[in-house]
Protein backbone atom coordinates (compact mmCIF):
# COMPACT_ATOMS: atom_id res chain seq x y z
CA UNK A 1 0.00 0.00 0.00
CA UNK A 2 2.88 2.37 0.78
CA UNK A 3 4.46 1.77 -2.63
CA UNK A 4 1.07 2.30 -4.35
CA UNK A 5 0.76 5.55 -2.37
CA UNK A 6 4.01 6.82 -3.86
CA UNK A 7 3.04 5.72 -7.37
CA UNK A 8 -0.34 7.51 -7.24
CA UNK A 9 0.70 10.50 -5.12
CA UNK A 10 -1.81 9.42 -2.46
CA UNK A 11 -1.87 10.60 1.16
CA UNK A 12 -0.66 7.66 3.25
CA UNK A 13 -2.95 6.95 6.20
CA UNK A 14 -2.08 3.26 5.84
CA UNK A 15 1.22 2.20 7.38
CA UNK A 16 1.69 3.14 11.03
CA UNK A 17 4.73 5.38 10.93
CA UNK A 18 4.61 9.08 11.88
CA UNK A 19 5.35 11.71 9.22
CA UNK A 20 6.83 13.95 11.94
CA UNK A 21 10.08 13.51 13.83
CA UNK A 22 10.89 12.35 17.34
CA UNK A 23 12.01 14.71 20.12
CA UNK A 24 15.29 16.61 19.80
CA UNK A 25 16.56 15.63 23.26
CA UNK A 26 16.55 11.94 22.22
CA UNK A 27 18.15 12.59 18.81
CA UNK A 28 20.86 14.71 20.46
CA UNK A 29 21.60 11.86 22.88
CA UNK A 30 22.11 9.50 19.90
CA UNK A 31 24.45 11.96 18.18
CA UNK A 32 26.41 12.37 21.41
CA UNK A 33 26.67 8.58 21.87
CA UNK A 34 28.08 8.23 18.34
CA UNK A 35 30.59 11.04 18.98
CA UNK A 36 31.55 9.40 22.28
CA UNK A 37 32.57 6.26 20.38
CA UNK A 38 29.70 4.00 21.43
CA UNK A 39 29.77 2.31 18.03
CA UNK A 40 30.86 -1.31 18.53
CA UNK A 41 28.70 -4.33 19.37
CA UNK A 42 26.63 -3.88 22.48
CA UNK A 43 26.30 -6.60 25.07
CA UNK A 44 23.90 -9.17 23.60
CA UNK A 45 20.97 -8.56 25.94
CA UNK A 46 21.39 -4.78 26.18
CA UNK A 47 23.55 -1.84 27.26
CA UNK A 48 23.45 -1.90 31.12
CA UNK A 49 22.20 1.68 31.46
CA UNK A 50 19.33 1.00 29.03
CA UNK A 51 18.34 -2.23 30.79
CA UNK A 52 18.19 -0.21 34.04
CA UNK A 53 16.06 2.49 32.39
CA UNK A 54 13.62 -0.18 31.11
CA UNK A 55 13.34 -1.72 34.59
CA UNK A 56 12.78 1.71 36.17
CA UNK A 57 10.03 2.58 33.71
CA UNK A 58 8.38 -0.83 34.21
CA UNK A 59 8.37 -0.23 37.98
CA UNK A 60 6.82 3.21 37.46
CA UNK A 61 4.15 1.81 35.11
CA UNK A 62 3.27 -1.45 36.90
CA UNK A 63 4.71 -1.26 40.41
CA UNK A 64 6.77 -4.40 39.71
CA UNK A 65 10.44 -4.49 40.69
CA UNK A 66 12.49 -6.48 38.17
CA UNK A 67 16.17 -7.32 37.76
CA UNK A 68 17.51 -5.40 34.74
CA UNK A 69 20.33 -7.94 34.31
CA UNK A 70 18.29 -11.13 34.47
CA UNK A 71 14.79 -10.15 33.34
CA UNK A 72 15.25 -7.59 30.53
CA UNK A 73 16.39 -8.42 26.98
CA UNK A 74 16.93 -5.61 24.48
CA UNK A 75 15.90 -6.49 20.90
CA UNK A 76 15.90 -4.89 17.47
CA UNK A 77 12.37 -3.52 17.70
CA UNK A 78 9.33 -5.18 19.25
CA UNK A 79 8.99 -7.35 16.13
CA UNK A 80 12.24 -9.07 17.11
CA UNK A 81 11.08 -9.32 20.74
CA UNK A 82 8.00 -11.16 19.40
CA UNK A 83 10.16 -13.44 17.24
CA UNK A 84 12.68 -14.19 20.02
CA UNK A 85 9.86 -14.93 22.46
CA UNK A 86 8.00 -17.24 20.10
CA UNK A 87 11.06 -19.01 18.68
CA UNK A 88 12.64 -19.29 22.14
CA UNK A 89 9.61 -20.57 24.04
CA UNK A 90 7.37 -22.38 21.52
CA UNK A 91 8.17 -25.87 20.27
CA UNK A 92 6.80 -27.43 17.06
CA UNK A 93 3.25 -28.63 17.70
CA UNK A 94 2.65 -26.32 20.69
CA UNK A 95 -0.80 -24.77 20.70
CA UNK A 96 -0.98 -20.96 20.79
CA UNK A 97 -4.15 -18.85 20.98
CA UNK A 98 -4.24 -15.72 18.86
CA UNK A 99 -6.87 -12.99 18.88
CA UNK A 100 -7.82 -11.91 15.35
CA UNK A 101 -7.38 -9.38 13.86
CA UNK A 102 -3.66 -9.34 14.71
CA UNK A 103 -0.35 -7.72 13.75
CA UNK A 104 0.79 -9.81 10.79
CA UNK A 105 4.16 -10.88 12.22
CA UNK A 106 2.40 -12.98 14.90
CA UNK A 107 1.06 -15.58 12.50
CA UNK A 108 4.25 -15.62 10.42
CA UNK A 109 6.52 -16.16 13.42
CA UNK A 110 4.24 -18.77 14.98
CA UNK A 111 4.40 -20.61 11.65
CA UNK A 112 8.22 -20.44 11.70
CA UNK A 113 8.12 -22.02 15.18
CA UNK A 114 5.80 -24.79 13.96
CA UNK A 115 3.06 -23.76 16.38
CA UNK A 116 -0.52 -24.93 16.09
CA UNK A 117 -2.51 -21.69 15.91
CA UNK A 118 -5.97 -21.45 17.47
CA UNK A 119 -7.74 -18.24 16.41
CA UNK A 120 -10.40 -16.35 18.38
CA UNK A 121 -12.01 -13.46 16.50
CA UNK A 122 -12.79 -10.12 18.12
CA UNK A 123 -15.80 -8.63 16.33
CA UNK A 124 -17.12 -5.10 15.87
CA UNK A 125 -18.47 -2.84 17.20
CA UNK A 126 -16.46 -3.14 20.44
CA UNK A 127 -14.15 -6.08 19.60
CA UNK A 128 -14.87 -7.63 23.03
CA UNK A 129 -13.25 -10.94 23.96
CA UNK A 130 -15.80 -13.77 23.48
CA UNK A 131 -15.16 -15.26 26.91
CA UNK A 132 -17.18 -18.47 26.38
CA UNK A 133 -15.27 -19.20 23.17
CA UNK A 134 -11.98 -18.58 24.97
CA UNK A 135 -13.01 -20.94 27.80
CA UNK A 136 -13.80 -23.70 25.30
CA UNK A 137 -10.58 -23.11 23.29
CA UNK A 138 -8.04 -22.95 26.12
CA UNK A 139 -6.96 -26.28 27.60
CA UNK A 140 -4.03 -28.11 29.18
CA UNK A 141 -2.67 -28.43 25.61
CA UNK A 142 -2.41 -24.64 25.25
CA UNK A 143 1.17 -23.42 25.61
CA UNK A 144 0.57 -19.66 25.27
CA UNK A 145 -1.83 -16.82 24.48
CA UNK A 146 -0.56 -13.93 22.36
CA UNK A 147 -2.11 -10.66 23.48
CA UNK A 148 -1.85 -7.09 22.18
CA UNK A 149 -3.24 -4.20 24.22
CA UNK A 150 -3.82 -1.44 23.14
CA UNK A 151 -4.69 -3.46 20.06
CA UNK A 152 -3.50 -3.08 16.46
CA UNK A 153 -5.47 -2.81 14.16
CA UNK A 154 -8.69 -2.05 16.06
CA UNK A 155 -7.56 0.38 18.78
CA UNK A 156 -9.34 -1.82 21.35
CA UNK A 157 -8.02 -1.84 24.89
CA UNK A 158 -8.53 -5.04 26.87
CA UNK A 159 -10.57 -4.22 29.98
CA UNK A 160 -9.53 -5.19 33.49
CA UNK A 161 -12.39 -7.70 33.54
CA UNK A 162 -11.21 -9.33 30.28
CA UNK A 163 -7.59 -9.44 31.46
CA UNK A 164 -8.58 -10.92 34.85
CA UNK A 165 -10.58 -13.66 33.10
CA UNK A 166 -7.70 -14.44 30.71
CA UNK A 167 -5.29 -14.47 33.68
CA UNK A 168 -7.39 -16.90 35.73
CA UNK A 169 -7.77 -19.24 32.72
CA UNK A 170 -3.99 -19.11 32.16
CA UNK A 171 -3.23 -19.93 35.79
CA UNK A 172 -5.82 -22.73 35.81
CA UNK A 173 -4.42 -24.33 32.63
CA UNK A 174 -0.72 -23.42 33.15
CA UNK A 175 -0.55 -21.21 30.04
CA UNK A 176 2.00 -18.48 29.22
CA UNK A 177 1.06 -14.99 28.00
CA UNK A 178 3.08 -13.09 25.41
CA UNK A 179 1.87 -9.51 25.79
CA UNK A 180 2.68 -6.93 23.10
CA UNK A 181 2.27 -3.52 24.74
CA UNK A 182 3.98 -1.17 22.26
CA UNK A 183 1.04 1.26 22.34
CA UNK A 184 0.88 1.45 26.16
CA UNK A 185 1.49 5.22 26.16
CA UNK A 186 -1.17 5.79 23.48
CA UNK A 187 -4.09 4.87 25.74
CA UNK A 188 -6.87 7.44 25.40
CA UNK A 189 -10.18 6.19 26.76
CA UNK A 190 -8.94 4.13 29.72
CA UNK A 191 -5.75 3.34 31.62
CA UNK A 192 -3.46 0.71 30.14
CA UNK A 193 -3.19 -2.44 32.28
CA UNK A 194 -0.10 -4.60 31.90
CA UNK A 195 -0.91 -8.32 32.06
CA UNK A 196 2.24 -9.01 34.10
CA UNK A 197 0.93 -6.75 36.89
CA UNK A 198 -2.08 -8.98 37.63
CA UNK A 199 -1.81 -11.40 40.59
CA UNK A 200 0.09 -14.59 39.73
CA UNK A 201 0.85 -13.46 36.16
CA UNK A 202 4.39 -12.04 36.22
CA UNK A 203 5.93 -15.52 36.42
CA UNK A 204 4.11 -16.65 33.25
CA UNK A 205 4.21 -13.46 31.15
CA UNK A 206 6.63 -12.01 28.60
CA UNK A 207 5.94 -8.27 28.21
CA UNK A 208 7.14 -6.84 24.90
CA UNK A 209 7.50 -3.15 24.13
CA UNK A 210 9.49 -0.66 22.08
CA UNK A 211 10.68 2.90 21.74
CA UNK A 212 9.36 3.59 18.24
CA UNK A 213 5.68 4.31 18.82
CA UNK A 214 6.05 6.42 21.95
CA UNK A 215 8.92 8.57 20.67
CA UNK A 216 8.10 8.66 16.92
CA UNK A 217 11.43 6.98 16.11
CA UNK A 218 10.17 3.85 14.36
CA UNK A 219 13.30 3.58 12.19
CA UNK A 220 15.57 3.04 15.19
CA UNK A 221 14.15 -0.45 15.85
CA UNK A 222 14.72 -0.54 19.61
CA UNK A 223 12.56 -3.00 21.53
CA UNK A 224 12.68 -5.16 24.64
CA UNK A 225 11.20 -8.19 26.35
CA UNK A 226 10.61 -8.36 30.11
CA UNK A 227 10.17 -11.81 31.67
CA UNK A 228 11.14 -13.84 34.74
CA UNK A 229 14.55 -15.59 34.43
CA UNK A 230 13.18 -19.00 33.36
CA UNK A 231 11.37 -17.41 30.39
CA UNK A 232 14.11 -14.84 29.69
CA UNK A 233 16.49 -17.77 29.18
CA UNK A 234 14.47 -18.94 26.14
CA UNK A 235 14.04 -15.42 24.76
CA UNK A 236 17.80 -14.82 24.95
CA UNK A 237 18.67 -18.14 23.33
CA UNK A 238 16.68 -17.17 20.25
CA UNK A 239 17.75 -13.51 20.33
CA UNK A 240 21.43 -14.59 20.26
CA UNK A 241 20.92 -16.15 16.83
CA UNK A 242 18.44 -13.63 15.40
CA UNK A 243 20.34 -10.35 15.78
CA UNK A 244 22.71 -11.06 18.71
CA UNK A 245 22.81 -7.36 19.65
CA UNK A 246 20.96 -4.11 18.96
CA UNK A 247 22.34 -0.71 17.83
CA UNK A 248 24.70 0.57 20.53
CA UNK A 249 24.38 4.38 20.24
CA UNK A 250 20.60 4.14 19.86
CA UNK A 251 20.37 2.20 23.12
CA UNK A 252 22.19 5.01 24.93
CA UNK A 253 19.71 7.50 23.50
CA UNK A 254 16.78 5.22 24.31
CA UNK A 255 17.86 5.22 27.98
CA UNK A 256 17.60 9.01 27.93
CA UNK A 257 14.16 8.77 26.27
CA UNK A 258 12.74 6.40 28.89
CA UNK A 259 13.77 8.83 31.63
CA UNK A 260 11.70 11.60 30.03
CA UNK A 261 9.50 13.51 32.49
CA UNK A 262 5.80 12.64 32.74
CA UNK A 263 5.02 15.90 30.93
CA UNK A 264 6.34 14.32 27.71
CA UNK A 265 3.69 11.57 27.86
CA UNK A 266 0.93 14.03 28.77
CA UNK A 267 1.77 16.15 25.74
CA UNK A 268 2.06 13.10 23.48
CA UNK A 269 -1.41 11.94 24.49
CA UNK A 270 -2.92 15.40 24.02
CA UNK A 271 -1.39 15.74 20.54
CA UNK A 272 -2.68 12.34 19.47
CA UNK A 273 -6.16 12.99 20.83
CA UNK A 274 -6.35 16.14 18.68
CA UNK A 275 -5.20 14.18 15.61
CA UNK A 276 -7.64 11.39 16.37
CA UNK A 277 -10.57 13.85 16.63
CA UNK A 278 -9.75 15.31 13.18
CA UNK A 279 -9.67 11.88 11.54
CA UNK A 280 -12.61 10.26 13.36
CA UNK A 281 -14.97 13.21 12.86
CA UNK A 282 -13.84 13.47 9.24
CA UNK A 283 -14.44 9.77 8.54
CA UNK A 284 -17.93 9.99 10.06
CA UNK A 285 -18.74 13.03 7.90
CA UNK A 286 -17.51 11.18 4.81
CA UNK A 287 -20.02 8.40 5.58
CA UNK A 288 -17.99 5.58 7.10
CA UNK A 289 -19.23 3.56 10.04
CA UNK A 290 -16.41 4.28 12.51
CA UNK A 291 -15.74 1.83 15.35
CA UNK A 292 -14.49 3.16 18.70
CA UNK A 293 -10.71 3.21 19.18
CA UNK A 294 -9.54 3.53 22.80
CA UNK A 295 -5.79 3.34 22.18
CA UNK A 296 -3.03 3.10 19.49
CA UNK A 297 -3.01 5.52 16.54
CA UNK A 298 -5.37 3.39 14.44
CA UNK A 299 -9.07 3.45 13.74
CA UNK A 300 -11.09 0.76 11.96
CA UNK A 301 -14.12 1.58 9.79
CA UNK A 302 -16.76 -0.29 7.82
CA UNK A 303 -16.34 0.64 4.13
CA UNK A 304 -19.50 -1.09 2.86
CA UNK A 305 -21.62 2.12 2.51
CA UNK A 306 -19.49 2.86 -0.59
CA UNK A 307 -20.52 -0.29 -2.42
CA UNK A 308 -17.19 -2.01 -3.18
CA UNK A 309 -17.05 -5.78 -2.90
CA UNK A 310 -14.31 -6.14 -0.28
CA UNK A 311 -11.58 -4.33 1.65
CA UNK A 312 -8.88 -4.83 -1.01
CA UNK A 313 -11.09 -3.51 -3.83
CA UNK A 314 -12.04 -0.55 -1.65
CA UNK A 315 -8.43 0.29 -0.72
CA UNK A 316 -7.32 0.09 -4.37
CA UNK A 317 -10.19 2.39 -5.38
CA UNK A 318 -9.36 4.76 -2.52
CA UNK A 319 -5.73 5.05 -3.66
CA UNK A 320 -6.30 5.34 -7.41
CA UNK A 321 -9.51 7.41 -7.53
CA UNK A 322 -9.48 9.36 -4.25
CA UNK A 323 -5.76 9.64 -3.48
CA UNK A 324 -5.81 8.31 0.10
CA UNK A 325 -4.26 5.13 1.51
CA UNK A 326 -5.90 2.82 4.06
CA UNK A 327 -4.98 -0.77 4.93
CA UNK A 328 -7.31 -3.68 4.07
CA UNK A 329 -7.83 -5.59 7.32
CA UNK A 330 -8.35 -9.05 5.78
CA UNK A 331 -4.55 -9.51 6.05
CA UNK A 332 -4.93 -9.43 9.85
CA UNK A 333 -7.21 -12.50 10.03
CA UNK A 334 -6.66 -16.27 9.79
CA UNK A 335 -9.85 -16.27 7.69
CA UNK A 336 -9.64 -13.21 5.37
CA UNK A 337 -13.43 -13.24 4.89
CA UNK A 338 -13.82 -11.95 8.44
CA UNK A 339 -12.03 -8.71 7.58
CA UNK A 340 -13.48 -8.02 4.15
CA UNK A 341 -15.83 -5.22 5.34
CA UNK A 342 -13.24 -3.35 7.39
CA UNK A 343 -10.31 -1.07 6.63
CA UNK A 344 -7.79 0.59 8.95
CA UNK A 345 -6.70 4.23 8.93
CA UNK A 346 -3.89 5.74 11.00
CA UNK A 347 -3.77 9.22 12.53
CA UNK A 348 -0.01 9.34 13.27
CA UNK A 349 0.35 12.17 10.74
CA UNK A 350 0.49 15.94 11.08
CA UNK A 351 -2.86 17.73 11.22
CA UNK A 352 -2.55 19.26 7.78
CA UNK A 353 -2.07 15.79 6.24
CA UNK A 354 -5.09 14.43 8.11
CA UNK A 355 -7.30 17.37 7.04
CA UNK A 356 -6.17 17.05 3.41
CA UNK A 357 -7.00 13.34 3.40
CA UNK A 358 -10.47 14.00 4.84
CA UNK A 359 -11.09 16.73 2.25
CA UNK A 360 -10.12 14.39 -0.60
CA UNK A 361 -12.52 11.74 0.69
CA UNK A 362 -15.36 14.24 1.15
CA UNK A 363 -14.86 15.45 -2.39
CA UNK A 364 -14.43 12.16 -4.24
CA UNK A 365 -15.96 9.37 -2.17
CA UNK A 366 -19.70 8.92 -2.66
CA UNK A 367 -22.07 6.48 -0.97
CA UNK A 368 -23.62 3.91 -3.29
**pLDDT tens-digit profile of 5-60?**
889 999 999 989 899 999 999 999 999 999 999 999 999 999 999 999 999 999 99
Domains 1-21+263-364 and 24-259 share a fold: no
Mean of pLDDT over the chain = 97
pLDDT digit string, tens, across residues 165-207: 999 999 999 999 999 999 999 999 999 999 999 999 999 999 9
What is the Cα Rg of the chain in Å? 20
Q: Taking 90 as the threshold, does the pLDDT of residue 1 lie above it? A: no
pLDDT score recorded for residue 298 = 98
Instruction: Say if residues 23 and 264 touch (Cβ distance below 8 Å).
Output: yes
Instruction: Say if residues 241 and 87 touch (Cβ distance below 8 Å).
Output: no
pLDDT score recorded for residue 4 = 86
pLDDT score recorded for residue 129 = 98
CATH number of 24-259: 3.40.640.10
Cα distance between residue 218 and residue 226, in whole Å? 20
Cα distance between residue 186 and residue 197, in whole Å? 18
Dihedral through CA 69, CA 75, CA 81, CA 83, nearest 10? -120
Cα distance between residue 257 and residue 94, in whole Å? 37
Q: Taking 90 as the threshold, does the pLDDT of residue 368 lie above it? A: no
pLDDT score recorded for residue 11 = 96
pLDDT score recorded for residue 49 = 98
Considering the chain, what percentage of its residues have pLDDT values greater than 90? 97
Segment 342-353 mean pLDDT: 98
pLDDT score recorded for residue 3 = 85
What are the residue ranges spanned by the domains of the chain? 1-21+263-364, 24-259
SS3 221: coil
Class of domain 1-21+263-364: alpha beta
**If residue 179 lies in a helix (H) or strand (E), which one and from where to where?**
strand 176-180
Cα distance between residue 132 and residue 296, in whole Å? 27
Segment 108-112 mean pLDDT: 98
Between the two ends of the chain, the Cα-to-Cα distance in Å is 24
Alpha helices, DSSP H, located in the chain: 2-8, 24-35, 48-62, 77-89, 104-112, 131-137, 160-173, 212-215, 229-242, 248-258, 262-286, 311-317, 351-364
pLDDT score recorded for residue 327 = 97
Amino acid sequence: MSSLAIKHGAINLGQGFPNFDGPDFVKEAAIQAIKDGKNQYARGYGVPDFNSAIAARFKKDTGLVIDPEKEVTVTSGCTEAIAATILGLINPGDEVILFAPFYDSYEATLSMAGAKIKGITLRPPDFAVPIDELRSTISKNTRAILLNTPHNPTGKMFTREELNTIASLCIENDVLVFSDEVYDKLAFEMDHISMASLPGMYERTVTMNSLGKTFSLTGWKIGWAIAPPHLTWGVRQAHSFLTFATSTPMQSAAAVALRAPDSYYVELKRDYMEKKAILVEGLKEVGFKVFPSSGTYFVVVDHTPFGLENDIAFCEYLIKEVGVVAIPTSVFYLNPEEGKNLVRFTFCKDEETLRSAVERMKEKLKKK
